[in-house]
């Protein structure tokens, strides 16, 4: 199956990326009530780069590409409530990173019968997004070891946080599907995410 997009999907991806980028910038500025005006412009630029890479890769390369690899139709849809919550929480220095999701539509056979989507396949599609974020974070951390940069550290933080948040075993987050598929895989990967986050604190 080709890696295709619809016009409404592209529009909703752009909107979600912008809103989530603003949310991260506000949160890393210590929220609206302790806003550092001098720091905010740089954080906005950093956030658009980090979120633009991390969020798009999570949803499109992670979820959508893997779904279409299995010949399952998948389209991104924004979640208006999630976008509003993301902005609201960011005012208090916290990021609620669930602006939308890639919706998976089960395939049909020659007779029009719906083909069941196994827990394993659903789990693989779900974990692909957070795995993508961890890979991206690792790349930024490696780059930071060669050339120390606030941007590289920030981008790593954003991607690790996206992975941790989405791996929480709470519906409709990715972690709930992975947990339902294989609790050992969920626990192992979640532990890796937490370990990377803890290590990042000391950078």
**Residues classed as catalytic:** 59
Coil, helix or strand at residue 5: coil
Q: Is 196 left (phi over 0), alpha (psi -120 to 50) or beta?
A: alpha
Q: With beta carbons less than 8 A apart as the criterion, state whether 170 and 105 touch.
A: no
DSSP 85: H
* Cα distances (Å, whole numbers) of residue 39 to 17, 30, 201, 202: 21, 10, 19, 21
DSSP assignment of 108-170 equals: B-TTSPBPP--HHHHHHHHHHHHHHHHHHHHHHHHHHHHS--HHHHHHHHHHHHHHHHHTSSS
Start-to-end C-alpha separation, the chain: 42
Nearest to residue 42, comparing CAs of 201, 154, 144?
154
Please report where in the chains the tokens 């509003």 appear, as a residue: 84
């Amino acid at each position: 199956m080709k890696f295709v997009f619809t016009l409404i999907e592209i529009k909703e991806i752009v909107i979600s990326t912008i809103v989530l980028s603003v949310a991260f910038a506000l949160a890393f500025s210590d929220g609206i009530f302790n806003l550092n005006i001098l720091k905010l412009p740089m954080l906005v630029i950093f956030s658009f780069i980090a979120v633009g890479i991390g969020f798009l890769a999570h949803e499109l390369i992670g979820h959508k590409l893997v779904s279409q690899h299995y010949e399952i139709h998948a389209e991104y849809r924004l979640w208006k409530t999630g976008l509003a919550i993301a902005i609201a929480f960011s005012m208090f220095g916290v990021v609620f990173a669930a602006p939308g999701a890639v919706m998976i539509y089960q395939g049909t056979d020659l007779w029009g019968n719906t083909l069941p989507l196994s827990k394993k396949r659903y789990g693989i599609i779900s974990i692909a997004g957070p795995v993508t974020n961890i890979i991206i974070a690792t790349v930024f951390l490696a780059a930071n070891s060669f050339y120390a940069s606030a941007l590289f550290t920030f981008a790593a933080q954003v991607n690790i946080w996206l992975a941790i948040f989405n791996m929480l075993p709470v519906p409709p987050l990715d972690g709930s599907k992975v947990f339902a598929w294989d609790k050992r895989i969920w626990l192992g990967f979640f532990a890796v995410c937490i370990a990377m986050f803890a290590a990042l604190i000391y950078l």
